[in-house]
Amino acid sequence: MDITTEILDEATIIRFSGTADGTAVAEIRRALGEGVNATSCRVVCDLSGTSYICSDALGAFISAHEEAREAGGYVYLVHPQRRIADILATTQLDRLFEVFESVEAALVR
């Protein structure tokens, strides 16, 4: 999985590209942890390049979301591909996460 981080004044944008399987979970968790700490717990996760996600990787996003929320911040998800959106709907995690069509839409929320 390729992960890139961009730190802006208003939030940290993290772009996840490729396969979020068990071998990528530690890397995902580390990136989210750094993102949560970087900009007052405001993290925007661009999932437009993510083609697969396992439940452990979902767990990494949930943990970051809870950590950010408790500190008054957020973890937003942006533009998940159809199969990832299906997983979010199946697990009802679309009730937990706010999902946006674009990074720009998430930043002006």
Partner 1 sequence: LHAHDRNQVLQIPSCASEVHHVQCLIQEAMEQHGYDDDACFAVKLSVEESIINAIRHGNKFDRSRCVEIRFDVNDECVCIHVRDEGKGFNPCCVPDPTSEENLAKPHGRGIMLMRAYMDEVYYADDGREVTMVKRNRADG
Largest pairwise CA distance in the chain: 34
Tokens standing for residue 62:
């949930």
* Residue position matching structure tokens 């697990």: 91
Q: Which stretch binds partner 1 (CB under 8 A): 2-10, 38-46, 72-80, 86-94?
A: 86-94
Q: What is the Cα–Cα distance from 41 to 55, expressed in whole angstroms?
A: 23
Per-residue contact flags (x/-) with partner 1 for residues 6 to 35, judged by CB under 8 A: ---------------xxx------------
Q: Which residues bind partner 1 (CB under 8 A)?
A: 21-23, 52, 54-56, 58-60, 62-63, 65-66, 83, 87, 90-93, 95-96
